[in-house]
Amino acid sequence: MGEIVLQSAPAEFDQKSEQKRILIVDEDLNSREGLRRWLVGDGHVIETAVDGWQAIRKMKEFRFDIAIIDLDLPAVRGVAVNGWDLARISRAYNPRISIIVIGSETPTAVKAQLEVLKVSEFLEKPISPGHLKLLVRRIEQ
């Protein structure tokens, strides 16, 4: 009979299991890619989506630790799924997900929504790369 040999996973596998999987949802290519570049350098696994529907498909495929969602998302084929809707859906798929929302509104204008949806953080545009990285690191702890 053949012998079964168990080996430990390669070091890069162990390292990846420690990484955070982050979903970035923003219709603007420059913003989306800028956010991705800022965070990928910290060793995170980043997925991006251009709209709410694409984000939902990715949430079905992967379990994310953090979602960064622009509140102003486009309608797709006439059906709107805005950032608040996506935050609700994200929470339904994964109650433990940390959600960071990005918008042009002032924090006081959206305070009630932030509390209801248990959003981890609200970032008012324009976003500071250093501040975003700091938030993600704080969420990791």
| Residues 123-136 pLDDT 10s | 999 999 899 999 99
CB 59 within 8 A of CB 24: no
**Domain annotation covers residue 56:** yes
**Domain annotation covers residue 134:** yes
Note the pLDDT tens digit of each residue in 38-50.
Answer: 999 888 999 999 9
> What is the domain-level CATH number for residue 131?
3.40.50.2300
Kind plus residue range of the DSSP H or E element containing 31: helix 29-40
Note the pLDDT tens digit of each residue in 79-111.
Answer: 889 999 999 999 999 999 999 999 998 878 888
Q: Which residues have a Cβ under 8 Å from the Cβ of 98 and sit 6 or more positions away?
A: 65, 66, 67, 120, 139
**Domain annotation covers residue 26:** yes
Per the structure, the count of domains in the chain is 1
CA distance 128 to 126: 7
> In terms of C-beta distances under 8 Å and separation of at least 24 residues, what long-range contacts does 11-19 make, across chains too?
15/43, 16/45, 19/43, 19/44, 19/45
